[in-house]
Amino acid sequence: MSRYKLPSLEGRPSYARSRFSGFRLSGFALPRGVVTLLLDYLETYRQRRALAALDDHMLKDIGLSRCDVEAEISRPFWR
């Protein structure tokens, strides 16, 4: 289950339910699962960039070493 909430269809007219198939971009619709997966990848990327920006004192506070951080940020975004 993703941590992202997709728009709820409750309370909308029934025609909206049949037309909504995901994220629409220039006539190309992405299914909800693909959009959620891409958002998860983006969040992983952002978190790793934020982790890389922490100094050694902050890393010590959370129990990580610079070596741990380097290992994490070198991983591909899909892992």
CB 43 within 8 A of CB 78: no
E strands present in the chain = 23-25, 28-30
pLDDT of residue 35: 87
**Euclidean distance between the first and the last CA atom of the chain, given in angstroms as a whole number:** 16
The pLDDT profile of the chain, 79 residues, written as one tens digit per residue, is: 456 555 555 555 544 444 545 556 666 677 888 889 999 999 999 999 999 999 999 999 999 999 999 999 999 877 8
Q: How many residues does the chain have?
A: 79
